[in-house]
Amino acid sequence: MKEAVVARNLTIYYGGKPALSDVNFELSEGNTLLLLGPNGAGKTTLLRVIAGFHREYQGELLVFGRTPLEAREFVSYVPQSHSLNEKVPLTALEVVSMGAIYKRGILHRKIPEEILERAAKALEFVGLGGIGGKPFSNLSGGQKQRVLLARALISDPKLLLLDEPLSALDPSAKAEVASALSKIKSKRGITMIITTHDINPLLDIGDRVMLINKRMITFGKPDDALKDEIIKAVYGPLARTIKVEDKLYCITGDLHIFRGEKK
């Protein structure tokens, strides 16, 4: 199987100071990697380096056998908080179309018909066939996230980098987005790296899991990586609960991380 991403002895710096070190992994084409770690662990940093946006690193990093910069045409990156100005009244279809227009580096007054058709298909693919004409700002959180997925898909990437696509969504919206991600994996075979605090909705599609906390703690198949002692090494010695972004996560057994009620 061909490797989509290979990192060997990768250390990433900001202004000469290491932010994330000892990163070693190989991700095969078509596989999905779930990237876990507490706030400030370096998750976004790793995604941005793979996307070719941050270049201060040492060691080897290959994306489809190229440097991240050379591989940018194959990669779509969906940042955690989208940078769309919601005061600009764009429809869902226009937001998705932007994914194709930016990629080509052309500015249009009018979006070409061919791109609108592709955008409509991409919306349909993520289960939002009927909402193309609606203002983006009026959509629910789960719908917005799926519009952003469609926008990332329209350029036909080989690698999708998703920064906390489930954050700030209620459980049913999380399930909708997780199901769209699952479809991207099964129907399109796109390699994905997904950062998440809530691993449960994504466990089905995770072929590999990486836990990081300023350095790589572990990388492997979910059953091997999600061990109690490893979780503790990442999140500290707290027995079976972890708190991330104000939410309490409980760890029961070696596979289940679920949100418990804060006492």
Site residues, ligand ADP (CB under 6 A): 14, 19, 37, 39-45
The residues facing 159 across adjacent strands are 75, 191
Residue 142 contact partner, candidates Mg ion, ligand ADP, none, CB within 5 to 8 A by sort of partner? none
Return the residues of window 144-163 that contact Mg ion according to CB under 5 A.
none
Q: How far is the CB of 15 from ligand ADP (least distance, A)?
A: 6
As given in the structure block, the two tokens for residue 188 are: 């399109």
Q: What is the DSSP letter of 156?
A: -
As given in the structure block, the two tokens for residue 224 are: 């091997």
Alpha-carbon gap, residue 184 to 19, rounded angstroms: 31
Q: How far is the CB of 39 from ligand ADP (least distance, A)?
A: 5
Determine if 44 is a binding residue for Mg ion (CB under 5 A).
yes
Q: How far is the CB of 74 from Mg ion (least distance, A)?
A: 23
Residue 144 contact partner, candidates Mg ion, ligand ADP, none, CB within 5 to 8 A by sort of partner? none
Burial of 199 (0-12, 13-18, 19+ CB in 10 A): buried
CB 126 within 8 Å of CB 148: no
Q: Which residue is nearest to Mg ion (CB)?
A: 44
Nearer residue to ligand ADP within complex by CB, 42 or 52: 42
Nearer residue to Mg ion within complex by CB, 167 or 200: 167
Q: Is 205 left (phi over 0), alpha (psi -120 to 50) or beta?
A: alpha
- How many CB atoms within 10 Å of residue 82? 15
Which part of the chain contacts Mg ion (CB under 5 A), choosing from 38-46, 94-102, 125-133, 144-152? 38-46
Alpha-carbon gap, residue 152 to 99, rounded angstroms: 6
Q: How far is the CB of 53 from ligand ADP (least distance, A)?
A: 10
Determine if 196 is a binding residue for Mg ion (CB under 5 A).
no
Contacting residues toward Mg ion, per CB under 5 A: 43-44
